[in-house]
A and B are shown apart, each in its own frame.
Chain A
Amino acid sequence: MNHTEPTGPTEMAKYVITSLIEADVTAEDIAHFVNEIKPFGLVSFAVDLPYISLAVDLLKDVPTQVTAVCSYPLGGMTTEVKLEQVKYARQQGAYDIDVSMNYLAIKSGDFLTVEEEVRRLVNAAGDLKIVVVPQVTILTNDEKARTCEAVLKGGCKTIKTASGFGWKTEVEDVLFIKRLFGDAIHIEASGSVRTKQQALAMIEAGAESVHTSTVFQVLGIDKRPVDTEKE
């Protein structure tokens, strides 16, 4: 990839997705956070299903999209339940949805089940863009390759590497997937991207964008040191 290295916060923002996903996040928290990120023109803001329409409303005057999450981050829900969530996110106006995969199937080498789930999700999504989370942290290189293959066969072109919540992505993961699939797959690097330097390394490795919860550090506005060991 021939990215010109972004420098200022406005340039960085074109690569950055942030999120507010936790069990106890309230509507007030969402409104407060949107107020803080709104001026920067981030790619997207990811929220749990109950807050999609609120986020869409709060961000309607800026280009920042709203991302929903599905069976996140553990992926243990059935395809039928995931389809209900996709339908809901679409109705609520999300731009895309990050879907945690069936890791039980992946860890069993059952990639047909993975491919079939992706196909059903893509078919049900309509305008809503499906982004699949392979959770690279728990996968061998062979499993990473076969999961990405199943995702592409199922008709999805974008992956978000890991979910955060303790699951991390290394620069090597992005390089490995890029080397195998090139431009056929779009990579959102996610999980452990906490500094501007880490974000730039992911972009340099071929990621189209990065997910981070420490958005102001990644934009280069907040210069305080961050704990890079956290997810």
Chain B
Amino acid sequence: MQAKRSRFLTVMLTLGLAFFYVPMILLVVYSFNYSKIVPVWGGWSLRWYKELFESREVWSAVSLSLQIAVVNATFATILGSLAGLAMVRFGRFKGRTLFGGMIVAPLVMPEVITGLSLLVFFITLNQLFGWPSERGFATITIAHITFSMAYVAVTIQARLTGMGQDLEEAAADLGAKPFKVLTAITLPRLTPALISGWLLAFTLSLDDLVIASFVTGPGANTLPILIFSRIRVGLRPDINALATMIILVIALCVAVAAILMFRQQRADQRDRKMAEGEEH
């Protein structure tokens, strides 16, 4: 589709982008507002950033959220890529339909249901085995791994199908055992997808409020839980400052992921062109 963009489409595109970005820009601008009442302008100031950096509550929430996000991203990437490998490369195996269904289900399951069922599950476990006696870091991390691994699995599945099996078959023809093919050919080629999967799982975890609020216990506040409890009452300038910091960090992560994905795409195109060139 290389036809020209009509004026109507250009207008819609501009409006769409404005709709996306104006609220975020205002959010950032008002974080530098001196006034305590957010939408009333009281001059430029870094007052709320100072308050933010001095708040112990905020720092402990940031630290808890980051710890959960790192552990979650690591485990979700491992489990998700194993699941993706099994779905794409192992042909038909017993229970594949159930397995495939369980991989996609967390993507479409309403968060309230996932959160509710995991909380009930943890309480039941505690009554049966005495674990987890306290809800917090461990329970939130398990809950996050369960839904983020689904996203990683889908990413890896797409990458594996996109990669094709030619190189692996060639290695097998040359006498490499299946395990060797996996470690020497498949995994190295998957690396960019693994990194973007890790980043995806990391941000998903940092972003989650609903599931974490269900499975957390007293005293264990992640950053979204802390933000939510504050903004439920209304607008707060310190949350604007916090939001600006978060947007900055996430934008950096996304930029890295985008560059990686872009490079990968170009490498794929090159591979494909070379393969086509050999055929002709």
Pairing of A with B: no
